[in-house]
């Protein structure tokens, strides 16, 4: 592989895992919306309790969270003071919210019939990304976009990351075992004690803390393939987040027999690229303003 074809700071294995996670999630949703032919069936391991039920989508989310933990640990960010923590939160929230807000407006445009039923509280919850934490009925979960529960989960894990990073760094093996049992206990508690929160064992942060922390652990311990990603895989991996944000309303709007999958793929590619370009423009603007403020502060000093 030529040097100019590699992407510094990115692992090929992590990018492939994230891309695979997206493909499995898309496959799950295409099966659920009948976009795929009926002969393509879902996987299911029926002898497990429902809170451990496995299908394509759940495997995909697991891979997504694992890859996120890996990616954050690869940055090797040190949290020596509160300023480091603050800067980390700022970068991660900027990474999530601008494209999420645009995709949420896009979902409202496609599913416009739900707008009259939304209250001010609904808008606040959905734009915060934490609507799933307040949902006690299936209607509240699916009101705008059923796939956006993931936003509240990943933001919660980002908020926990400095603590997880510190614990894994100081006590790697003990912490990993602890996170495993925390996840297991949390899933059981959410399933048996708090069933009012639909599928809480899937989206509550402590239920998912193990596979997120596992990514941090493996990177910190150096237990990963060292191959550096190339531009193609790095771009596809980056695009996976934007595809995730826009795919579901497009899938529902193009749910036509046979030809529908072509409209879905074309529409998803177009709108995810547009969201990617918008997000890059927003980040460039924010970065430019941040640099201007720093230069101004240095001039005053």
> Is the predicted pLDDT of residue 294 greater than 90, yes or no?
no
Contact assessment for residue 14 and residue 71, using Cβ atoms and an 8 Å cutoff: yes
Decide which of 78 and 126 is more confident: 126
Q: Kindly report the pTM of this predicted structure.
A: 0.90
Q: Report the number of distinct structural domains present in the chain.
A: 1
* Three-class SS state of 124: helix
Q: How many residues does the chain have?
A: 301
Neighbours of 137 (CB within 10 A): 10
Confidence label for 137 from pLDDT (cuts 50, 70 and 90): confident
* Three-class SS state of 225: coil
> Is the predicted pLDDT of residue 242 greater than 90, yes or no?
yes
> Is the predicted pLDDT of residue 37 greater than 50, yes or no?
yes
Confidence label for 297 from pLDDT (cuts 50, 70 and 90): very low
Q: What is the mean pLDDT of the chain?
A: 88
- Which residue(s) pair with 230 in the sheet? 6
**Tell me: the pLDDT tens digits for 17-36?**
999 999 999 999 988 888 87
**Tell me: the pLDDT tens digits for 90-99?**
999 999 999 9
Q: Which domain holds residue 52?
A: 3-300
């Amino acid at each position: 592989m030529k040097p100019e074809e590699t992407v510094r700071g990115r692992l090929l294995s992590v990018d492939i895992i994230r891309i695979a996670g997206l493909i499995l999630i898309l496959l799950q949703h295409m099966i659920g919306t009948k976009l795929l032919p009926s002969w393509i069936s879902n996987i299911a391991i029926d002898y497990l309790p429902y809170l451990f039920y496995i299908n394509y989508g759940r495997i995909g989310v697991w891979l997504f969270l694992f890859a996120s933990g890996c990616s954050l640990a690869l940055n090797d960010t040190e949290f020596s003071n509160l300023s480091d923590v603050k800067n980390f939160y700022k970068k991660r929230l900027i990474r999530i919210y601008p494209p999420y807000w645009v995709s949420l407006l896009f979902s409202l445009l496609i599913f416009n019939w739900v707008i009259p039923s939304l209250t001010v509280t609904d808008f606040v919850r959905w734009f915060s990304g934490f609507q799933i934490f307040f949902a006690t009925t299936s209607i509240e979960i699916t009101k705008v976009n059923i796939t956006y529960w993931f936003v509240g989960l990943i933001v919660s894990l980002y908020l926990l990351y400095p603590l997880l990073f510190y614990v894994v760094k100081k006590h790697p093996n003990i912490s990993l075992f602890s996170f495993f049992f925390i996840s297991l206990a949390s899933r059981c508690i959410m399933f048996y004690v708090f069933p009012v929160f639909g599928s809480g064992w899937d989206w509550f942060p402590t239920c998912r803390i193990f596979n997120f922390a596992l990514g941090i652990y493996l990177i910190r311990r150096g237990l990963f393939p060292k191959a550096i990603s190339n531009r193609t895989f790095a771009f596809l991996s980056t695009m996976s987040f934007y595809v995730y944000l826009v795919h579901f309303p497009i899938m529902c709007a193009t749910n036509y027999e046979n030809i529908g999958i072509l409209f879905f793929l074309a529409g998803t590619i177009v709108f995810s690229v547009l969201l990617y370009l918008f997000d890059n423009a927003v980040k460039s603007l924010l970065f430019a303003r941040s640099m201007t403020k720093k230069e101004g502060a240095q001039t005053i000093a």
